[in-house]
A and B are shown apart, each in its own frame.
Chain A
Amino acid sequence: MGLRAYVVRRVLQLIVTFWAFFTILFVLFRMMPGDPTSMFIMDGMTPEQREQRIAELGLNEPLHVQYVEYARQLLRGDFGQSFIYRDPVIDIIAVRFMNTIVLMGTALLFAYLIGITFGAIMGWWRDSRFERGGIIVTLVARSSPEFWVGIVLLSVFVFWLGWFPSSGMRTTGGELGGNFAARYGSVDFLRHLFLPALTGAIAYLATPTLLMRSTMLDVLNADFIEIKKAEGLPERTVLFKHAARNSVLPLVTVMAIATGSAMGGSVVIETVFNWPGMGREMVNAVNNNDYPLAMAAFFLMGSVVIIMNFVADLAYVYLDPRVEYE
């Protein structure tokens, strides 16, 4: 089977995955105890008012009608209206979603770039002080809770050294640029981004580092490494072009999966650094039974994971010629 057929098949699988994901999401939310009016009972809502509100929101319809209606909306790219804010969900969530993506994307990028490089060198210098020290540092980073790392970074770099701003995404009163580049490319933004992204990077560093190290140890035993050395190639070429290049393959899949946990785990970092991301919004939406908002949030985050896996599969074909399209 050719590459094209493979891609087509993977795209079809992608669509099925999306459908299954959406359905499970829908059912899960309707199965949760409570409904959007639970929050207002304290305000002295009468049962009639409550019924009326439920009817307004369309929640008195049979489930399958709600399901079809929601699916139709989603296909049009419409996430509906928030029950609580009474604004279109897309307005509430789009910017926050981008903020989270930028934050966690940066964190993951650094974690994987640093992790892969250091893991490769740790494997290459097996039994060295560098390797032993590296493992300890990695495990400490891995075991430290994100909120604690965040607070330590804050107290050192903000309150003690005063190098970075303490919270938020940009200085108050700063110009909010209209386009993407102005919004996420300004020096002010990058200064705000640095500490929360570093916190995330520290938390996610261990997986790529340790995995890279252990696959390196495997790959370094392969005959071709010895042949490459015998060919008289410089160490750096053998290390990066051959050993690390082969060891990086399993990390592609792991990185796709890590994106998911990073998306979900962003809430802690967003809280510590007061980052206007989606994590906190999502938690509030679930607590309020704000179905459209919560579902949209979950849907977007889940989509990131599904799409990352898709990208990883395609990247794998490019990175490893042995992959069969079957």
Chain B
Amino acid sequence: MTLLDINGLKTYYRADNGWVRATDDVSLSIDRGETVGLVGESGSGKTTLAKSIIRLLSDNAEIVDGSINFDGTEVTELSDKELRKQIRWSEISMIPQNAMNGFDPVYTVGQQIVQVIRHHEDGTSKKEARERARSLFDELGIEPDRVDDYPHQFSGGMAQRAMIALALALSPSLVLADEPTTALDVVIQDRILDTIKEMQEELNSAMIMITHDMSVVSETCDRIAVVYGGRIVEIADTETIITNPRHPYTLGLRNAFPDINDDDQELISIPGTPPELVDPGEGCRFAPRCPFAEQECWEETPEAESYGDGHAVECHRADEIDHLQEEAGKKETWTEQDLGRPEDSQSDQPEEVMLDD
């Protein structure tokens, strides 16, 4: 059953030289209880996409087009007040990257959990809310008495657990987790991810897991959406993305992460930098860094093509999967390519674009 249905979403940022198209024509739907990973580099627009869902955008950002349907409610049309009452935290909550900074340092963690419970549930007494905070702590493996501690008294891992307690305090149907384990060491990372999974299954909450870490998504997510240049370039179930991806960028991402079973594996990074998102123009946004880019890729923005079972890819050459997968596994494919637009094609972009960096 569909919980969230995003259609043709465009969230742009105003900049001096035009609109930054951080999320450009993105469609995504999520079922109840499902976990979807958003994977991509920094600046690819994955956080903007997630924040658009609760309209938690900075003043210079705007949802210029598209719809966000959450459980029958059109989020883009809600007033600020309705948004605060009906959507924020009661239905959609979030877990930030660094939990320590996610709490207000001058109040105890308990006070902050109590505040949000009582704000959304009239008639809940302070005592009841506090009791709930304590039992949440208990479930998440934190000593209940620590609700009276201030955020700075927690260790990183404990703070992250406390943050999960805060995020789940109102049993939301969707949790936006923005790199929830990036700030933690690997051992704790794993435990936190397990905790999140357990709690989420218990509450049957859906989750959007934002990360640039392939290993995190492969462990936790049902489906993975690969985000590049403000677009979802490939989406499929986790198994398919890991074993049988079709987009060259996904192939490149896979190369950049170590496989624990393969001692001889050489990590290959994707050369170049993420694209400027001001007036990106026509053509595939990955073309400048893509070893397989052809004339067509520079001239025409690829449409999403379906490859069955919810597997969709935005690539002109996705049909040549066997060839691509083989070539993409070789280091020289990535290192020996010419970055940027080939000489022979007609350039409608001024040369100094390259000098901007």
Contact = CB atoms under 8 A, between A and B. Distances in A.
Nearest to B86: A232
Nearest to A232: B88
B341 interface: no
A322 B102 CA distance: 15
A246 interface: yes
A309 to B, nearest CB: 21
Contacts of A321: 105-106, 108, 150, 152
Given A229-B56, A234-B84, A223 B115 contact: no
A78 interface: no
Interface in B62-118: 83-85, 87-90, 93-94, 96-98, 101-106, 108, 115-116
Given A223-B102, A246-B105, A230 B150 contact: no
A224 B95 CA distance: 11
A231 B89 contact: yes
B60 to A, nearest CB: 10
A231 B56 CA distance: 10
Contact of B89 (A232, A320, A322): A232
A245 B111 CA distance: 15
Given A226-B56, A246-B105, A231 B116 contact: yes
B48 to A, nearest CB: 13
Residue from A222, A230, A319 whose CB has the most chain B CB atoms within 10 Å: A230
Contacts of B98: 223
Given A227-B96, A321-B150, A321-B152, A232 B90 contact: yes
A3 interface: no
Contact of A231 (B88, B101, B108, B152): B88
Interface in B92-148: 93-94, 96-98, 101-106, 108, 115-116, 119-120
Given A226-B96, A322-B152, A232 B106 contact: no
Contacts of B116: 231-233
A233 B94 CA distance: 14
Contacts of A224: 101-105
Given A321-B150, A322-B152, A230 B94 contact: yes
A232 B81 CA distance: 9
Nearest to B96: A223
A239 to B, nearest CB: 13
B56 A233 contact: no
B54 interface: yes
Contact of A232 (B84, B96, B102): B84
Contact of B106 (A226, A229, A234, A320): A320
A130 to B, nearest CB: 14
Residue from B56, B97, B105 whose CB has the most chain A CB atoms within 10 Å: B105
A233 B85 contact: no
Given A230-B54, A230-B89, A319 B84 contact: no
B105 A233 contact: no
Interface in A239-285: 242, 245-246
A183 interface: no
A228 interface: yes
Contacts of B85: 232
Nearest to B84: A232
Nearest to A128: B59
B150 A322 contact: yes
Given A223-B96, A223-B98, A321-B152, A230 B88 contact: yes
A69 to B, nearest CB: 49
B150 A233 contact: no
A272 to B, nearest CB: 41
**Nearest 3 A-B pairs (CB), nearest first?**
A232-B88, A223-B101, A232-B84
Interface of A: 222-224, 226-234, 237, 242, 245-246, 319-322
Given A227-B103, A232-B89, A245-B106, 4 more contacts: A223-B102, A224-B103, A232-B120, A320-B106
Interface of B: 54, 56, 83-85, 87-90, 93-94, 96-98, 101-106, 108, 115-116, 119-120, 150, 152, 166
